[in-house]
C-alpha cells in the first residue's frame, strides 16, 4: 500500500514516462530525417511539435515535484522489471514496474500526444 496520494503519484509517473517518450521521438526524428520520404517536412514538424509539448509537460511535472519535494529515481533494471524509488515527504517507497507495462504506457502517451490531444482541443473549441 502506498502513502503517496494519487495526484502526486501521477506526476511522479510522468517524470518516468515523458523522458522515455522524448527518447523515442528523438530516435524517430533521426529515422525520418534519413528516410527516403518524398515530403519529410510534415512528419518532422509533427514530431518536433509533439516533442515541444512533451517538453512543456515534463517541465510542469518537474516544477511540481520541486515545489512538493518529490523525487523519482530508477534503482534497478533487468529484462522483466524496472524498480523506482519514490521519495514523498521524506519517505521512500520502492515500486516495481513490469517492462511491457512501461512500454504500453509510453505507447499510450505517444498516441495521446499524436492524436487525442488534438481531438480534445477541437471539442473544446466546439463548446465555446
Q: Model confidence over 38-62: pLDDT tens digits?
A: 999 999 999 999 999 999 999 999 9
| Alpha-carbon 15 to chain mean position | 7
Are the C-beta atoms of 58 and 68 separated by less than 8 Å?
no
Q: Is residue 43 part of a domain?
A: yes
Residue 121 confidence (pLDDT): 60
Residue 35, classed as helix, strand or coil, is: coil
120 pLDDT more than 80: no
* pTM confidence score: 0.88
Q: Model confidence over 73-114: pLDDT tens digits?
A: 999 999 999 999 999 988 999 999 999 999 999 999 999 999
Count of the separate structural domains present in the chain:
1
Among 19-33, 64-78, 86-100, 113-127, the minimum mean pLDDT is found in 113-127
Q: Is residue 1 part of a domain?
A: no
Domain of 39? 6-127
Higher pLDDT, 26 or 90: 26
Higher pLDDT, 105 or 116: 105
1 pLDDT more than 80: no
Residue 128 confidence (pLDDT): 56
Residue 117 confidence (pLDDT): 75
From residue 25, alpha-carbon distances to 22, 36, 65, 71, 87 in Å are 5, 18, 24, 24, 28
Amino acid at each position: 500500500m502506498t502513502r503517496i496520494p494519487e495526484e502526486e503519484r501521477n506526476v511522479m509517473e510522468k517524470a518516468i514516462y515523458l523522458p522515455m517518450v522524448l527518447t523515442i521521438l528523438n530516435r524517430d526524428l533521426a529515422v525520418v530525417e534519413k528516410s527516403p520520404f518524398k515530403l519529410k517536412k510534415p512528419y518532422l514538424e509533427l514530431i518536433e511539435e509533439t516533442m515541444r509539448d512533451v517538453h512543456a509537460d515534463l517541465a510542469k511535472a518537474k516544477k511540481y515535484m520541486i515545489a512538493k519535494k518529490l523525487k523519482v529515481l530508477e534503482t534497478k533494471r533487468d529484462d522483466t522489471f524496472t524498480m523506482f524509488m519514490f521519495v514523498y515527504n521524506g519517505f521512500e517507497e520502492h515500486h516495481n514496474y513490469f517492462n511491457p507495462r512501461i512500454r504500453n504506457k509510453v505507447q499510450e502517451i505517444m498516441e495521446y500526444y499524436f492524436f487525442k490531444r488534438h481531438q480534445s482541443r477541437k471539442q473544446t473549441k466546439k463548446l465555446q
